[in-house]
Structures are given as C-alpha cells and as structure tokens.
Amino acid sequence: MKIINAVIIWLIVLFKTYYFEQGLNSVTLETHYVKNRHEKLVGHFMTFPKATGLLPADNFLGIGYASLGNGRMRFMPPSSRKWRHRKSYLKKGYGCMQKEPNWRKYVRQVPKEVAQHMYAVVSEITVKSTECLNLNIYRTQIGKCFIFLMSYYRDGNIR
C-alpha cells in the first residue's frame, strides 16, 4: 500500500511540475459549468496559451462529499451532501485539523522533489476546520476520455 501511495504522489508531482514548467503561470481561466444528477457545478476551465502540448483542464475546488452538520454529527458517520441549485467551486476547501507530518522522517522515505512539493502543498493550507470533507478535482480531456487526478491525507500523514 505504501508503494502505491508513493507512486500516486509521484504522479501528482510529475503532473503539477510539468504543468508549471510548461507555462501554468500564463494560464487563462474561464468559468465552466458541469451538470450532474444533483446539481450544476461551476468551476474553472484552464487553457495554457504560451505552452505547447498542454491540454486544457477543468478544475473544481472544494467539492464537499459529506457533511458533519457543523459538529452536530461528530463521531458519527457523515451524511451525504445534496442540493439542487448551482454551486460554485472556484476556491479550495478548508484543510483538516491534524498534526503536521514529521518532515524529517518523510524526507527519508520519498524522493527530495516529492517531499518539497508536499511541503509546499501542506503549507498552502492555512484555514483548517472540522468541516473539511471536500475534494479538489482536476480533469483533462483526451478525446472522449477524462483523466482525473486526486491526492489525499490520512491520519496526520501524507499518503
């Protein structure tokens, strides 16, 4: 399982590094709508005008996948979140309240580039809350297929 998690983290680092090196700093954002059976999602559609070979990508930030009822349901299974109106997903959701990873131990377990990237990601999370059951989803389209990218943290450790 640890090997699979390390591979997933490495793929995330490669994906993000490639996009940053190829011109993510010159990204164009457009509002993008996607409808599913419960709601209409509003996200960003990113294009990279100065980059060659980069595919446009959708990003939907802070999508809640469960609710804790503002603390009323603490230590109980989370309930599903459902709504029937348009919901904006243009900014990242809250980070979970957890202890910082042991960076010295982590650096010895993974390649240096992966550790640096994960440190940057974790230090970017400034607002933390118990209501943190959300996902940031990035999706590129190749032909009629979509490619999804997801990373997660668990038990105070990067997985």
Residue 93 included in any domain: yes
SS3 content of the chain, % helix, strand, coil (to 5): 25, 35, 40
Per-residue model confidence as pLDDT tens digits over 55-103:
777 888 877 777 666 667 767 776 666 666 666 776 777 777 777 777 7
In a domain, 132, yes or no: yes
Q: Is residue 159 assigned to a domain?
A: no
**Residue 124 sits in which domain range?**
2-152
User: What pLDDT shows up at residue 32?
Assistant: 74
pLDDT level of residue 23 (50, 70, 90 thresholds): very low
In a domain, 88, yes or no: yes
Instruction: Give 128's strand partners.
Output: 95
Residue 158 forms part of a structural domain: no
For residue 111, is it within any domain?
A: yes
Residue 33 scores a pLDDT above 50 = yes
73 domain-assigned: yes
Domain count, the chain: 1
C-alpha pair distances (Å), 84 with each of 38, 51, 119: 6, 38, 37
Residue 12: pLDDT band (50, 70, 90) is low
| Mean pLDDT estimate for the chain | 67
